[in-house]
Amino acid sequence: MISIKKALLLSLASITLLVAEETSSLKTPAFTSPGSVEGTIAESSKPNGSFFRIEAIDTLFTPYNAWKTSIKKEHDFQFGGDYQTLYQNADPSLSDKEAFSGVFRLYGTYKAFNADSANSGSLIFKVENRHAFGSSHDAQNYGFSTGYYGITGALFGEYRDAGWGVTNLFWKQYFNEGKSNFQAGVLDPTDHLGVYGLINPMTAFSNLAFSSEQSMFLPNQGLGIAASSMIGEDFYIIAGINDANADAQEVGLDTFFDDNKYFTSLELGWTTGQERIYFDNIHATIWHVDAHEKFNGSPEGWGANFSAAWFVDDSWMPFLRGGFSDGGAALMQKNVSTGVGYYMGDTNDLLGFGINWADPSDDSLRDEITSELFYRVQLAQSLAITPSLQYFKDPALYTTESSMIQFGLRARFTF
């Protein structure tokens, strides 16, 4: 494992020196996911239609959105916020409680250097308040309480004392005419690692099996460094190092510089163009994590993952993802997911279905099959509701039951 870690660190250093021959102006956020700050702002700003429209909400926010646009033009500062809730109820269940969580976020990006150039530099931030309502479970950990071994509401956890966390605070510098970038500060690895078009649990699948990768250890948001670069027109490389002991409610200087326990990763991918990285994407990822104990502790481990997703006719997005891990650091030691997302007609309404097979890292637990069906209804530019249904075959923590069903309802408001 030492050789793997050294190779990953060497790759991170080499990317910062990589020079691509081609040049182009950026059309969409590069090397970032739909759930990142840049991706969220871009997705929220795109005009969208729907089958069921509350026009009064769009009208109400027209002056506010025009003001935000003027701020962007005059000061190169984009900002936004959102609030979302997620309700979940499983049957049968080992718990007599339901899950009901909320997440409030404020985020933005300020182009402070070379704002009109492809080689711009930006300060990016995001702060969050994650909470559960009353005595309800938080949705992120609800599955473990009901008897399902997995995360049924990714990102809908609960911060200590219903407090705030800083999940992004970093500098992102583009170079090579926008073909490469380097970022350092408080990072979320899922903003740039393992990206595909349905990865955002705030707008697509809720279950971690489809919104990220169960056979990969992922640290909390915290201090880290990442670098990305196109290699020619179609290939790209991403490498990073993150604090394995990261906690979004802690500064993290002591754990990053003193504890020296890191999560390192390297991703190689192919796409139809830099601006299409989270639409048309085939990639492989290898990762390693040191043994650590302070926050989300785990033993040393490593693994590899594969993902293929394609946006067909700008409507259909089939995907196939999987991976394995060794050492017990990840939730699953083997994992395969497949499914599809479909944008309904000319609207932003999204229908998604996925199915997953997973072998838990705990050898005492049986294999599980997970499926999720959801339909996101875009009621207005800033408002969406998403009912969902999750089905679990052979829930690993509820051995007397052969199956479970979980209903979910997510509401999302952006501003």
Q: What is the DSSP letter of 59?
A: H
Third-level CATH fold of 2-414: Porin (2.40.160)
Rg (Cα) of the chain, in Å, rounded? 20
215: region left, alpha or beta (phi > 0 left; psi from -120 to 50 alpha): alpha
Cis peptide upstream of residue 63 (ω within 30 degrees of 0) = no
Cα 153 from Cα 150, distance rounded (Å):
9
Residue partners of 336: CB distance under 8 A and separation at least 6: 320, 321, 322, 356, 357, 358
Write the single-letter amino acid at 403. S
Rounded Cα distance between 304 and 308, Å, is: 14
Quick one: DSSP state of residue 160?
G
Say how far apart CA 1 and CA 301 lie, in whole Å: 8
Q: Spell out the per-residue pLDDT of the chain, length 415, in tens.
A: 556 665 555 555 555 445 333 333 334 567 899 999 999 999 888 877 778 889 999 999 999 999 999 999 999 999 999 999 999 999 999 999 999 999 999 999 999 999 999 999 999 999 999 999 999 999 999 999 999 999 999 999 999 987 899 999 999 999 999 999 999 999 999 999 999 999 999 999 999 999 999 999 999 999 999 999 999 999 999 999 999 999 999 999 999 999 999 999 999 999 999 989 989 999 999 999 999 998 888 999 999 999 999 999 989 999 999 999 999 999 999 999 999 999 998 888 999 999 999 999 999 999 999 999 999 999 999 999 999 999 999 999 999 999 999 999 999 999 9
